[in-house]
């Protein structure tokens, strides 16, 4: 991309200044790497899953994965830049259909990165636990990988939201859930997947790893108990 000149004029017109353009370029590289990494771990097979990273807060610019792209072959040039309404301002292609959900989480949580996976375990457990409205992750050492958690004696309640193809309705449901559970590090969409976030991309990645690990542990444990 061409790097616009920095200065007040670019801020007023909404274009990125040089430093912000660098942030966007770095974000595209890191999101593409993350896509290939998570694909290799089976967390977003096919064209599933999507990622975003905040490039600038005011006015908001988000680097986000495009719709319908195989994450195992994701390259930086495919990453799009969208504004606070989810409209593409840089790049070609359609942004993820779930862009509104990313925007809701960025707005309500002040997150700098939002990651969404479709793993086997998050799909299974979000379906199996739907009637309870969530899943408790409790007593595990790995909980300490979640931001602000210092001990295994932590109870993480991952709320489960009914899935929908109506993204505006789903974004509203996410907003209500985040207001109800201000301390949660993530949420599940029923039979669909996990959303988590972080104060930077590294923290969001760590949260995916921790939550996917714990969901698999809980899922395997239940399977053993039931046998």
Q: Of the listed pieces 17-25, 173-181, 187-195, 205-213, which binds Zn ion according to CB under 5 A?
A: 187-195
Per DSSP, the residues of the chain read -PPPPPSHHHHHHT---HHHHHHHHHHHHHHHHHHHHHHHTTSS-TT--EEEEEEETTTTEEEEPBTT--GGG--GGG-EEE-TTS-EEESSSPBPTTHHHHHHHHHHH--SEEEEE--HHHHHHHHHTGGGTEEEEES-GGGGGSTT--SS--EEEEEEE---S-HHHHHHHHHHHHHH-TT-SEEEETTTEEEEEESSHHHHHHHHHHHHHHHHHHHHHHHHHH-
Number of residues that bind Zn ion (CB under 5 A): 1
Nearest approach in angstroms of CB 42 to Zn ion is 15
CA angle 169, 172, 176 (to 5 degrees): 140
Q: Of the listed pieces 144-152, 156-164, 172-180, 193-201, which binds Zn ion according to CB under 5 A?
A: 193-201
Interface mask toward Zn ion for 88-127; x: CB under 5 A = ----------------------------------------
Nearest approach in angstroms of CB 91 to Zn ion is 20
CB nearer to Zn ion: give 28 or 65. 65
Nearest approach in angstroms of CB 101 to Zn ion is 8
CB nearer to Zn ion: give 37 or 164. 164
CB nearer to Zn ion: give 95 or 193. 193
CB nearer to Zn ion: give 86 or 193. 193
Nearest approach in angstroms of CB 168 to Zn ion is 16
Nearest approach in angstroms of CB 81 to Zn ion is 20
Binding site for Zn ion (CB under 5 A): 193
């Amino acid at each position: 991309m061409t790097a616009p000149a920095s200065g007040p004029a670019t801020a007023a017109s909404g274009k990125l200044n040089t430093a912000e353009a660098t942030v966007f370029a770095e974000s595209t590289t890191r999101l593409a790497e993350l896509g290939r990494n998570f694909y290799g771990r089976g967390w977003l097979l096919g064209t599933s899953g999507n990622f975003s990273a905040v490039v600038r807060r005011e006015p908001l610019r988000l680097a986000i994965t495009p719709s319908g792209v195989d994450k195992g072959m994701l390259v930086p040039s495919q990453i799009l830049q969208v504004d606070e309404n989810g409209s593409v301002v840089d790049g070609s292609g359609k942004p993820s259909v779930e862009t509104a959900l990313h925007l809701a989480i960025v707005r309500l949580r002040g997150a700098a990165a939002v990651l969404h996976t479709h793993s086997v375990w998050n799909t299974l457990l979000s379906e199996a636990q739907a009637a309870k409205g969530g899943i408790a992750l409790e007593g595990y050492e790995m909980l300490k990988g979640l931001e602000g958690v210092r001990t295994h004696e932590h109870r993480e309640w991952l709320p489960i939201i009914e899935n929908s193809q109506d993204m505006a309705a789903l974004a509203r449901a996410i907003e209500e859930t985040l207001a109800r559970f201000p301390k949660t590090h993530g949420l599940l969409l029923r039979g669909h997947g996990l959303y988590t976030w972080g104060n930077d991309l590294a923290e969001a990645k760590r949260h995916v790893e921790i939550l996917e690990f714990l969901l698999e542990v809980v899922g395997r444990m239940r399977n053993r108990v039931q046998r």
